[in-house]
Amino acid sequence: MLIKQIPIRNSLRNYMYLLACENTLEAIAIDPLDHEVCLKTAEKLGWKIKIVANTHHHHDHIGGNAPVIAATQAELVAHAEAIQAIPGINRGLSAGESLECGELVLKVMDTPGHTMSHICLYFAGNSDEKPALFCGDTLFNAGVGRCDFGGEPKTLYKTFADQIFPLADDVRIYPGHDYIENNLEFTLDREPSNKSALSLREQFKNGLDAESFVSDIGLEREINVFFRLGEQKVRSGIAAMINIDIDDLDDRQTFIELRGLRDNW
Ligand SMILES: [Zn+2]
């Protein structure tokens, strides 16, 4: 699979993606908000956009659909239950289905929580390439999506517990926004001596480019506080905050309280 990660550099720091089959150069555009840059990039690479895929219905993800489709006649796909919310969907996708483009195959994951109709697209990898997850606003580098624009924290926790936490460490992460530097600060607020987060923050200060940085699930387990629900420091901080005994706190409630805390942080 050929991957082009494109930072949009708007105030929300969206990423859009072009994924192409290396044999046919047919491509999927994921959440192509900046249609001009998307089309120009595809043209420069010689990729033919056949499919536009939206991870969810928020405007900063679907806002470029119409002009990209007008220019390419691409098929528009999104979560089957987002059909009301996203104009012009040609095909609704459900969990476990394959999304194919040329010889490229992605598996559809149904990942509610940020919104209630949100998909992630999973590339299983092969002998030359590690797996990859295009995760929209479900999972960010060092963070998770917020739930106060049509989502639900307890549903997001279930998505993580059932589908994200079990992923292999070598799955590369391609999120819908570049929020890593702020998110690292939140992890360090909860866990000030987290060595991996401290070291990565230092690397960004020394010029590591956040826009082209790609993490994986193994690194997220170290730097993303939402993956570290059982850590003593994380859990005791939450227990003290909501004034309950640490033994009465479980992963689910820790996750939900962290999400609430991050909303106003
Ligand atoms: Zn969103």
Angle in degrees, CA 220, 246, 156, rounded to 5: 40
pLDDT at 101: 98
Centre of ligand 1 to C-alpha 246, Å, is: 32
Looking at the fold, whether 117 and 34 belong to one and the same domain comes out as: yes
Looking at the fold, whether 147 and 248 belong to one and the same domain comes out as: no
Looking at the fold, whether 166 and 195 belong to one and the same domain comes out as: no
Looking at the fold, whether 73 and 197 belong to one and the same domain comes out as: no
Centre of ligand 1 to C-alpha 56, Å, is: 7
Looking at the fold, whether 64 and 83 belong to one and the same domain comes out as: yes
Angle in degrees, CA 32, 52, 47, rounded to 5: 85
Q: What is the mean pLDDT of residues 201-219?
A: 95
Identity at 121, one-letter amino acid code: L
- Asked if 180 and 141 count as a contact pair (C-beta separation under 8 A), the reply is yes
CATH number, domain of 163, equals 3.60.15.10
Residue 14 is given by DSSP the state B
Pick from 158, 178, 198: which residue ends a domain? 178
Centre of ligand 1 to C-alpha 63, Å, is: 12
Centre of ligand 1 to C-alpha 128, Å, is: 32
Centre of ligand 1 to C-alpha 114, Å, is: 7
Pick from 178, 206, 229: which residue ends a domain? 178
Cα separation of 141 and 139, whole Å? 7
User: What confidence category does residue 122 fall into, taking pLDDT thresholds of 50, 70 and 90?
Assistant: very high
265 pairs with which residues across the strands? Answer: none
Centre of ligand 1 to C-alpha 190, Å, is: 24
Centre of ligand 1 to C-alpha 147, Å, is: 9
Mean residue pLDDT of the chain comes to 97
pLDDT at 212: 87
Centre of ligand 1 to C-alpha 206, Å, is: 30
Looking at the fold, whether 36 and 156 belong to one and the same domain comes out as: yes
Looking at the fold, whether 39 and 166 belong to one and the same domain comes out as: yes
* Length of the chain counted residue by residue: 265
Centre of ligand 1 to C-alpha 60, Å, is: 7
Segments forming the whole domain that contains residue 135 = 2-178
Contacts of 151 (CB under 8 A, 6+ apart): 112, 113, 114, 115, 116, 118, 145
Looking at the fold, whether 129 and 191 belong to one and the same domain comes out as: no
Question: What is the residue whose two structure tokens read 């790609």?
Answer: 214
Centre of ligand 1 to C-alpha 58, Å, is: 5
Looking at the fold, whether 208 and 151 belong to one and the same domain comes out as: no
Stated pTM of the model: 0.97
Contacts of 63 (CB under 8 A, 6+ apart): 33
pLDDT at 175: 98
Centre of ligand 1 to C-alpha 245, Å, is: 34
18-73 pLDDT, tens digit per residue, is 999 999 999 999 999 999 999 999 999 999 999 999 999 999 999 999 999 999 99
Burial 187-215 (b: 16+ CB within 10 A, else e): bbebbeebebbbebbeeeeeeeebeebeb
Number of domains observed in the structure of the chain: 2
Looking at the fold, whether 221 and 120 belong to one and the same domain comes out as: no
Contacts of 120 (CB under 8 A, 6+ apart): 55, 108, 109, 111, 133, 134, 135, 136, 138, 139, 163
Q: What is the mean pLDDT of residues 203-210?
A: 95
Centre of ligand 1 to C-alpha 78, Å, is: 14
Looking at the fold, whether 137 and 43 belong to one and the same domain comes out as: yes
Looking at the fold, whether 94 and 210 belong to one and the same domain comes out as: no
Q: What is the mean pLDDT of residues 190-216?
A: 96
Pick from 138, 160, 178: which residue ends a domain? 178
Copy the structure tokens of residue 122. 């999973």
pLDDT at 170: 98
Centre of ligand 1 to C-alpha 177, Å, is: 9
